[in-house]
Amino acid sequence: MRSRIRLNSGTELSFLTAGESSRPALLLLHGFPSSSRTFRHVIPLLSKVAYVIAPDMPGFGMSDALPDPSFDRLADAISELLGHLAIGPRYIYLHDFGAPVGLRIAMQAPDLMLGFIIQNANAHGSGMGPAWKATQDFWANPDPDNEAKATAHLTFEGTRDQYVADVPDDVAAQIASESWEEDWRVMQRPGNMETQRALIADYGNYVARFDEIADYLQRRQPRALMLWGRHDTFFDLAETLSWMRALPRMEAHILDGPHFLLETHADRTASLMVDFLERQ
């Protein structure tokens, strides 16, 4: 069921819920440039074992943009939603931009965490390969020239590349073009492009917290399931080893898929997630 709430900031947030609220809660956090639409193929199965909450983060999907976007503010918005729904213990699915949001929520309420599902999400420097150079240059020297280079992917072609760049042809052929076409349409809504520019700049503040995140993971050792698309030109495959070293008991699956793994491996990943959730 899709619903909307008006946050304390005045921003309207759109979100999906599915399943019985008596079941363990599973918060699904999408990445750039998508929305809760990312999870359309897996929610029906997940909702049989969990109470699924899939928000469109502010500035994405059907949610309004925040007036002063940052990952902390996005996390505050999602935390407000969780409070509105009276969500207690929860699993959190981390993907791409969902990682800084979900990890902040988890670290603010560690005793409510049941576990993570990690899907092509960076929390270590090892995940930042050559594709990050322009962005790192921008963080080090945020002048207009570096900003232009760091945000050059905010185009229709760049949006498409989030799905298919460096992905083998037979895998890319499984991804419907309407996915990036819809993302690009949404990015044209008022405030959304400004949100993307602000989050690119703010991701540097998230990277600066990697040591704090490492300490949290080492101390708490949450249950975790990794699902990783190996053909990801943005998040280096070395990131998977960093996650496995941080969480040595984590179950890990490296699949022959793209950054948007659920576009090509929905059945396989949904089955793995259900198994993980049922073994709580």
> Using one digit for the tens of pLDDT, what is the confidence trace for 176-213?
999 999 999 999 999 999 999 999 999 999 999 999 99
Question: pLDDT > 90: what percent of the chain?
Answer: 98
pLDDT for res 97: 98
pLDDT digits (tens, 9 = 90+) for 39-69: 999 999 999 999 999 999 999 999 999 999 9
Cα-trace Rg, the chain? 17
Mark residue 64 as left, alpha or beta (left: phi above 0; alpha: psi -120 to 50; beta: remaining).
beta
pLDDT for res 150: 97
Tell me the mean pLDDT in the region 216-229. Answer: 98
Does an H or E element contain 242, and which?
helix 238-246
Q: Given pLDDT bands bounded at 50, 70 and 90, which one contains residue 221?
A: very high
Q: How far is Cα 117 from Cα 35, in angstroms, rounded to an integer?
A: 17
Nearest CA among 95, 165, 101, 168 for reference residue 130: 165
Write down the mean pLDDT value for the chain.
Answer: 97
Q: Given pLDDT bands bounded at 50, 70 and 90, which one contains residue 100?
A: very high
Q: Where are the alpha helices (DSSP H) in 85-191?
A: 98-108, 133-140, 144-150, 156-164, 169-172, 178-187
Residue type, 6: R
Q: Is the pLDDT of residue 280 over 80?
A: no
- The C-alpha angle with vertex 18 and arms to 17 and 20, in degrees rounded to 5, equals 115
